[in-house]
Structure formats: structure tokens, C-alpha cells
Amino acid sequence: MQYRRMPIEIEAPEWIGYEHIECNLSESSFADQRLSDLGISVDDLVLFYGHHRGTPGLRACIAAEAMLQADDILITAGAASALFIVATSLLQKGDHLVVQKPNYGTNIETPLAIGANISFLQLQFDDAFRLDVNELEQRITPQTKLVSLTYPHNPTGVSIDETTLHQLIAVIEKHNVFLLLDETYREMTFTTKLPVAASLSDKVISVSSMSKAYGLAGIRIGWIACKNKALMEIFLAAKEQIFITNSVLDEAVAYQYLQKKDVLFTPVKEKILENFRIMKTFMQQQDVLEWVEPDGGCVCFPRVRKEIDMDMQVFHDLLLTTHKTYLGRGHWFDEDPRFVRIGYGWETPEKLSKGLRNIVAVVEALQK
Ligand SMILES: Cc1ncc(COP(=O)(O)O)c(C=O)c1O
């Protein structure tokens, strides 16, 4: 493995220092939650290793929502470790895979660290970041092991419909390759939620997490869902070699949260939608940025209009130093610097609105 740090981690807000950021539009989740606000108690917990696949109750909860069995679920340390387990289990140096781009960094970086050969499926702004299933199929070769996609997508927030999901699965089954579907943002879908893709075929591996929709990134709980028993044994072996089990504390918090998800998540979803409306209104009322409207999640990937001549590094520096506003940067996703990722689900409506106004103010200042 050849590891290197990803720009998105090097420039993460925790490295910038939260004291320097007032309007944090760089986050890709709902606001971090406080344990005492959730009514969750872990006082009686026995601090043992825990179950290797994850607490049975927690797995049953996740499986029920996914139309799967508890044994089809493996608890991991966030979706990040799930993606790592899947990539290192399925790929070796020289293996071929198809990965959507842009994408959440790990989906690209871990296959690269393994030395796998990636064919990118580039989503285009001018094509509304649409997935072209025919183009995807053309990228598959007899050497291809894996196709890796994310929906709802990070950083664009676009999604696919159920018909497209079925077409995708037909393609990967026809070519006998695995599909890794990163479904970390599934709960934050604005329209009808897609089925958990792993419930539709044993060639599909779904990955998800408690971090984004619920604002529980600090408990580091994610999971792999897959009906393929042989594959799940390999994933379990990988998990046992990396961290044996998850923290029982983390699992207990996740379990209790999911047991009362209806009560806890309903207001969260309303807040995300309220912020989405603010984002949408802002986009209609300004002429600095153009975007593809997201279908879900809590991030979007607009770009600075081509008429605006501006050094993007100067723009980001000024935005941070004079307006304490922080955005995701195009180069985090290896895209043109004119793209910015705006996370609209994390801040309060007031701070979100202020941060968005600051973007326009800085662009106007730089145009003078
Ligand atoms: C698409 C996607 N997958 C996975 C992750 C990893 O999340 P976590 O490990 O916190 O569950 C992220 C985090 O930004 C993400 O955006």
C-alpha cells in the first residue's frame, strides 16, 4: 500500500481551527450532536470487546430498514473503514475498477494506494452530473473487478432513480463484477429513497454510516451490507485484522439512536430541508455561482460563472481571513478550482445565510 494524505483531510476545518471559522460551509453532514441532547444513556455498559460482526440488535435494526437479514450487515468504524475493507478485500495491485469522479476521496485514494488501475467515470456539470449507464458499461473490461459509485452523490448531491439503479445492477451482473454503492447520504434523500442496493443483488455491496444524516460522526459507526456470504466472511476477516470489533460505546449510542430514529431524525430532516430552501433561494438571487440542484444529501457543487475573472486561491483566502467563511475547494475533488463544495446542512439558517452572502461580498470586492 502507498498511502498519502488527501487534500480534503489536510485542509479539513479541524486543521484550520474552528476558532478561525464562523460560517462553516465546508462540512458534509448535519451538525454534530451532543450526547445529552439525544436522551441516550450508556451508564450500565459492560466494556468488553463486543461482537465481531457488531451488536446483534444494531445489525437487526439496520437490516430491517434495508430489507436484509442481520447477518448481511457488518458494523465498521464509519463508512470510511467500510470502504477501506471493501477495496482491500476485492482489489490487488494491477486490478481494474471503474470509479465515478468526482467522489468522496477514499473511494479513489484507497484503490490508488493498493496500486489498482482506475478508469474514471467523469460526471459533467454541463450534463447535470448525470450518470450514463452505457458509458459506464463501456468502461468495464474483462479485468474489471469492481464498479464504485456514490448516491446521493458527494460532492454534487445528485442522485439516480430506481429504474437507473436496476439498469446498473443488470450491467454489473451481466459482466460479473461487483458494485460498491456508497449510500452514506441515503437518509437525506429529498424525493423517494432508493432501496438499499445490496438488497437487490448479491453482487452489490452497500456502505453507509451514522455520521452524515444524524450528525454522529464522533461515534465512528458505519456498516457494510451485502447478501454474499463468502464475501462477508472476507470482510469480517479484514475487520478483525484492522480493529477486531467496534467500540461497544459507539455501538450502544448508534443502537439507541436508531431505536428512536423517528423521534430524533424527523426534526433533523426538517432542518436540513429548511437550509436547502435557503440555499436554493440564494442560488436564484445571485449571479456569481451556477449549480446543478441537488436531489439529496447536504452538499452541492456549484461553480463560479465563467464571466468572473478571479484567482480562486485569493478568493478562498480572503473569504476565510476577512469573513471567517470556509468552503470546500474544487481541488479536494481533483476538479477545476472554480468549483466549490457548499455544505448547507451543518450551520444554523442564520450562519448559512451569512456565509452565502459573504461569498458574494468577496467576489464583488475582488471584481473592483
Ligand atoms: C460519500 C462518503 N462516504 C463515506 C464517508 C466517510 O464517512 P464516515 O467514515 O464518517 O462514516 C464520507 C465522509 O465525508 C462521505 O462523504
Domain residue ranges in the chain: 7-28+262-367, 41-259
Best residue among 32, 186, 205, 209 to mutate for probing ligand 1's pocket (most ligand atoms within 8 Å of CB) is: 209
CATH number, domain 7-28+262-367? 3.90.1150.10
Task: Give the Cα separation of 292 and 344 in Å (integer).
Answer: 14
- pLDDT the model gives residue 368: 72
Q: How far is the CA of 227 from the centre of ligand 1 (A)?
A: 22
Task: Give the Cα separation of 347 and 16 in Å (integer).
Answer: 17
State the cell numbers at 29: 453532514
Express each pLDDT in 70-101 by its tens digit. 999 999 999 999 999 999 999 999 999 999 99
- DSSP string spanning 110-161? HHHHHTPEEEEEE--GGGTT---HHHHHHH--TTEEEEEEESS-TTT-----
DSSP state of 3: -
Q: How far is the CA of 195 from the centre of ligand 1 (A)?
A: 19
pLDDT digit string (tens) for the chain, length 368 residues: 999 999 999 999 999 999 999 999 999 999 999 999 999 999 999 999 999 999 999 999 999 999 999 999 999 999 999 999 999 999 999 999 999 999 999 999 999 999 999 999 999 999 999 999 999 999 999 999 999 999 999 999 999 999 999 999 999 999 999 999 999 999 999 889 999 999 999 999 999 999 999 999 999 999 999 999 999 999 999 999 999 999 999 999 999 999 999 999 999 999 999 999 999 999 999 999 999 999 999 999 999 999 999 999 999 999 999 999 999 999 999 999 999 999 999 999 999 999 999 999 999 999 87
Average pLDDT of every residue of the chain: 97
Best residue among 184, 253, 299, 300 to mutate for probing ligand 1's pocket (most ligand atoms within 8 Å of CB) is: 184
CATH number, domain 41-259? 3.40.640.10
Please give the C-alpha separations between residue 207 and each of 63, 83, 258, in angstroms, as whole numbers.
12, 7, 17
Task: Give the Cα separation of 250 and 223 in Å (integer).
Answer: 13
